[in-house]
Amino acid sequence: MTTVTRFAPSPTGLLHVGNIRTALHAWLLARRHGGRFLLRIDDTDAERSREEYVEAIRADLAWLGLEPDGEERQSARLAIYEDAFAKLREAGRVYRCYETAQELELKRKVLLGRGLPPIYDRAGLALTDADHARFAAEGTMPHWRFRLDHDAPIEWDDGIRGRQHFDPAQLSDPVIRRADGSWLYMLPSAIDDAEMGVTDVLRGEDHVSNTAVQIQMFTALFAAGFGAAKTLPGFAHEALLVGREGKLSKRLGSLSASALRENGIEPEALVALLARLGTSLPVEPIANRQVLIETFDLATFGRAPARFDEAELERLNHAIVHQLDYAQVADRLPAGMDEAAWLAIRPNLETVSDAADWWRVVTGPVEPPAFDDDTRAYLALAASVMTWGDDPWAALTAALKDATGRKGKALFLPLRQALTGMDHGPDMHALLPLIGEAAARERLEKAAAGA
C-alpha cells in the first residue's frame, strides 16, 4: 500500500515551529517510503478562517521545500460530510442534544464536585420524539454528538507511544456538529482521512484522546459503507515542543515561519533542527535533504518534551549559510556581487543578508581609523610598493615585511584597517582582488594622508 500522509492546518493564523515540525515529519515519512504528502486546509470554521492565511501556509511550505503532492480544502467537501453524516445517522451513531454551554458547564461542576470524571451523561439519547418536536416548536436547533460504543476497549499500536488503551465509557460522546449546522474538527477529519486514503497520521501528543474517539468514527464509517480502503491509518503522537522557559505558546508570533524568514533563518537550518528535535539522532547542520529522509525513523522518537532553543537554531543557521552555493543565494545578493565575492565573504556571515554589509566594504567608501605618524608612513610605503598579480595581498605583505621588518599584527592590521575600515573580516587574499588595484591604492593613500 502506498504511504499517504497529510498536513491539515486550520487557516486561522500563521504557521509556527510546532506546525512546521508536524508538516515536516509527515513529509519525511512520505518521502522515506516513496509515498504521497497531502495538504488539507481545514477551513470549516468560516468565522475564523482567512484566505490570507491559506496563501501564507502555501508560501511557507514552498519556502521550506515541503511541496505537497495534492491539496484539498474542507470547505469544498461539505457534500461528502453530509453523505457520511447521513449514513452515521441511519446507523444510530449520531444523536441530537440541546443543552446550552451554561447547562453543560453546570453538569461538569456537579460531577467534579462529586469526585467523578466530567463525562457527558448522554441525556440527549433519552429524548423522545415529543421532546424533539417541542424543541423544534420553540425554534431550538440541536447540536449533534457521536455515540461512542462502550462494548469494547479502544486500542492501537502508536508509532511513538507504543500500545495505547482507552475505555470508551470514560470518554464523552464528542460534539461533531453545531446547532447552526457547521462542523467541528473531529468527524470531518476522520471522514477526510478515510476518503482520501491516508495511511499514516502524525500529530502532537495532545491529540491522543482525539485519536481514540476517531478510531471509533473510522470503524462506524467503514461499517456504514463509507471509505475506500476501510483500513485504519497508523497513528503516531510526538511529544510537544517546549521552550527554555516551558510552553512556546507565548512566543508563537516570533516563531512563525514568516518571522524566522525575516530574521535571516534559512529553511535548510529550520528543517535540519526540526527533523531530529526530540529524537535520538544528533541535530546537525545537514543541508542535504536526502540524508534527513533516509535517516527518518519513528523508532528514534522519544516520549520526553522536545526543547526548541533559538540559540541552537542560530548556530545551525550560521553553519548552513557557510555551506550555501552561489546559485542558492544569487537572487538575494547585492547587485554586482559575483561568485568569487560570495565565496570570499561567506565564511564571515551569520545570515545571507549580512553579505550586503561586507559588499559595501568591497565597493566603498570606507572610513579608516585615525593612525599615528609611524603607521601613516607605513601605509604610504604600502601604496608605493603595491603590485598587482595573482595574489596581490601576498605580494604586498612580503614586500612590506622585507622593507620594514614588521610581522604579525603590526604587518597586517594597519593594512586591513586602511583597506576595509575594519579590524576583522574575510581573508584578505580573497578580498583585496575584489576591491581592485585602483581602489586599494586610493584607500591606502587616503589613510596615509589622514584624510
What string of pLDDT tens digits covers the 451 residues of the chain?
899 999 999 999 999 999 999 999 999 999 999 999 999 999 998 889 999 999 999 999 999 999 999 999 999 999 999 999 999 999 999 999 999 999 999 999 999 999 999 999 999 999 999 999 999 999 999 999 999 999 999 999 999 999 999 999 999 999 999 999 999 999 999 999 999 999 999 999 999 999 999 999 999 999 998 876 689 999 999 999 988 766 665 555 678 999 999 999 999 999 999 999 999 999 999 999 999 999 999 999 999 998 999 999 999 999 999 999 999 999 999 999 999 999 999 999 999 999 999 999 999 999 999 999 999 999 999 999 999 999 999 999 999 999 999 999 999 999 999 999 999 999 999 999 999 999 999 999 999 998 6
For residue 435, give the C-alpha cell: 576591491
The strand pairing partners of 164, in sequence order, are 156
First to last CA, the chain: 75
Residues 6+ apart with CB under 8 A from 438: none
pLDDT at 252: 56
Q: What DSSP string describes 309-363? A: -HHHHHHHHHHHHTT--HHHHGGGSPTT--HHHHHHHGGG-SSGGGHHHHHHHHH
pLDDT at 209: 96
pLDDT at 1: 82
In order of their start, the domains of the chain are: 1-71+239-322 (3.40.50.620), 326-362 (no CATH), 364-449 (1.10.10.350)
pLDDT at 230: 80
Residues 6+ apart with CB under 8 A from 113: none
The reply to whether 250 sits in an annotated binding site is yes
Q: Three-class SS of residue 295?
A: helix
- Give the chain's length: 451
Q: Are 431 and 420 in contact (CB under 8 A)?
A: yes
Q: Three-class SS of residue 39?
A: strand
Question: Could you give the CA distance from residue 377 to residue 360 in angstroms, rounded to a whole number?
Answer: 27
Rounded to 5 degrees, what angle do the CA atoms 93, 170, 213 make?
A: 45
